[in-house]
Amino acid sequence: MASNSASRSVAKVLGINVDYRKEEPLHSSGASISSVETYVEKEPTAFEYVSQFKPSLPAFQRYLRSLFPFWNWIFHYNATWLLGDVIAGK
């Protein structure tokens, strides 16, 4: 496991604590809390984090319309104006 020791060395140089998940055990001073369940929250995965930014379908449709604004009017275009528009475009 040379890569593990190399990773730890790089982390140490950068000041990163790779053992941050290892917590100190709790020392109780007489009072017992054995009847209370401990709550442990799992860390989110990268996929879970990125999925919160996934747009809804209406938001995605608005985005596509903003990329191609002619879709808003192209199906209502008056074809009799086509010749004039082609001449004006030259």
Q: What is the pLDDT of residue 18?
A: 77
- What is the pLDDT confidence band of residue 4, given thresholds at 50, 70 and 90? confident
Q: What is the pLDDT of residue 90?
A: 76
In-domain check, residue 16 = no
Query: 32 near 26, Cβ under 8 Å?
Result: no
Q: What is the pLDDT of residues 18-38, one digit of tens each?
A: 777 776 666 655 555 666 778
d(CA 51, CA 64): 20
In-domain check, residue 64 = yes
Q: What is the pLDDT of residue 59?
A: 92
Q: What is the pLDDT of residues 62-81, one digit of tens each?
A: 999 899 988 888 888 888 89
Query: 65 near 72, Cβ under 8 Å?
Result: yes
In-domain check, residue 10 = no
Query: What pTM value is reported for the model?
Result: 0.36
Q: How many domains does the chain have?
A: 1
